[in-house]
Structure 1
Amino acid sequence: MIKEIIVVEGRDDTTAIKRAVEADTIETGGSAINARIIQRIALAQKRRGVIIFTDPDHAGERIRKIIANKVPGCKHAFIPEADATRKGDIGVENASPDAIRHALARVHTSYEGAESLIDMEDLVGAGLIVHPNAAARRMEMGNILGIGYCNGKQFLKRLAIFQITRDEFISALAQVEEGGKE
């Protein structure tokens, strides 16, 4: 049984989580998160801890940001888009139990205001910004590090808040350079 309560977007996500692991969930009901749901998440965070596990799409990232801003100290699980896509539909509900377990095994805790261990020059040098394939490289790097996909500015912020070390960054970059093998 996972101690923390996993926050997901809907019922189908809860079903997928319960196929993969024994855990309790809170469903946001999609992107229209109301104050009552935020209160439930805040109580869950205080009592047991929370893992935010939203879809790897724009709406899922929006929900993740809203929760993280209103309920500090949440943990985050990210699933690669490729593992959450079936017949063109992107969502946690489409992920295999193995993909869900893998994402939950790589949970990160955010530390708002954390000092960055990687800087913008590192991103430029790694081809993660200002590079013809920067978006694809960030997606691959985000999947390897377990921090998900985002734009360059957000990627730098995630490296900081999840305290990704220089060694982790260099190791992930080497995997990207080798073709993304984990």
Structure 2
Amino acid sequence: MKIKEVIVVEGRDDTVAVQRAVNADTIETNGSAIGEAVIHRIQLAQARRGVIILTDPDYPGERIRHIVSQRVPGCKHAFLPKADAISKSGNDLGVENATPEAIRQALANVKQEFENPQEEITWQDLIDGGLIGGAQSRDRRERIGSVLKIGYANGKQLHKRLHVFQITKEEFSQALQQVLEEENND
């Protein structure tokens, strides 16, 4: 599988994992202290080929994703569920731990970021769906992020991602229904 866009990853081990899964070029941020030279390379890649951000499903990874998407508008995003990024020992979380199939799946479900998103899903929809302020909210957000392929996020970030990736009310409702049905079957 050849990927036209350049994939932004955190480090060398992530590049190795991505290149085991697909034929692609990468830019490594080398952690969350992203220098201007790296931002410039990402901007150039975005202008010439497009960019897909694939970072670890943890706080530092989300911070890098946010920094890059703020400085380089119009990026695409690929998200790995936490379950697919945990090491065999269970004490490390990252792209480098994902199987080639999990990486291919994340890249197959890439989401385009839109500059002026239409607000379709309201804050009240998140409250009504039990995604904010309830005992099971965190788990539900993690599960709905996985179903929609937009990754885990806190309530505020989930609301933003639903809009930035233009998830429709229908897609949201179907995903929420699936999460609630799975909950009832557990």
**Which of the five TM-score ranges fits, normalised by the shorter chain?**
over 0.9
| Residue identity matched to 2:69 | A
Residue aligning to 1:108 = 111
Per the alignment, residue 74 of structure 1 pairs with 75
TM-score (norm 1): 0.97
SS of equivalent to 2:79: coil
Which of these residues, 165, 168, 182, is aligned with residue 165 of structure 1?
Answer: 168
**CA distance in structure 2 between the aligned counterparts of 1:57 and 1:130, rounded to whole angstroms:** 21
Deviates more, 1:143-152 or 1:108-117: 108-117
**2:182 aligned counterpart, secondary structure:** coil
Q: Distance in 2 between matches of 1:54 and 1:172?
A: 23
In the alignment, the residues of structure 2 paired with residue 19 and residue 175 of structure 1 have an alpha-carbon distance, to the nearest angstrom, of 32
- Measured after TM superposition, the shift of residue 130 of structure 1 is 1.5
Q: What residue in structure 1 maps to residue 102 of structure 2?
A: 99
> Residue in 2 aligned with 1:12?
13
Using the TM superposition, give the Cα deviation of residue 116 of structure 1 relative to its aligned residue in structure 2, in angstroms.
Answer: 1.5
Matching residue of 2:54: 53
Q: Distance in 1 between matches of 2:115 and 2:129?
A: 24
- The alpha carbon displacement at 1:56 in A equals 0.3
- Name the counterpart of 2:181: 178
Query: Alpha-carbon deviations, 1:105-157, whole Å to 9, x = none?
Result: 11001113312210011101111002111011000000110111111011000
Structure 2 match to 1:122: 125
What residue number does 1:90 align with?
93
Q: Residues of 2 paired with 1:7 and 1:64: CA distance?
A: 9
- Tell me how large the CA RMSD over aligned residues is: 1.1
- What's the CA shift for 1:43? 0.1
Q: Are 1:22 and 2:18 counterparts?
A: no
Q: Is 1:142 the counterpart of 2:162 in the alignment?
A: no
Q: Quick one: distance in 1 between partners of 2:66 and 2:127? A: 25
Deviations, residues 7-42 of structure 1 (Å, cap 9, x unaligned): 000010001001111111000111110000000000
After TM superposition, give the deviation of residue 174 of structure 1 in Å. 1.5
**Structure 1: gaps (5+ residues):** none
Distance 1:45 1:67 in 2: 11
Q: CA deviation at 1:177?
A: 1.2
Q: Residue type matched to 1:162 in 2?
A: F
* Uncovered stretches (5+) of structure 2, i.e. residues with no partner: none
* Cα distance in 2, alignment partners of residues 177 and 74 from structure 1: 31
The letter of the residue matching 1:174 is Q
The alignment partner of 1:178 has SS state of helix
Determine whether 1:35 maps to 2:45: no
- Count residues in correspondence: 181
Counterpart CA distance in 2 for 1:151 and 1:11 is 28
TM-score, normalised with respect to structure 2: 0.95
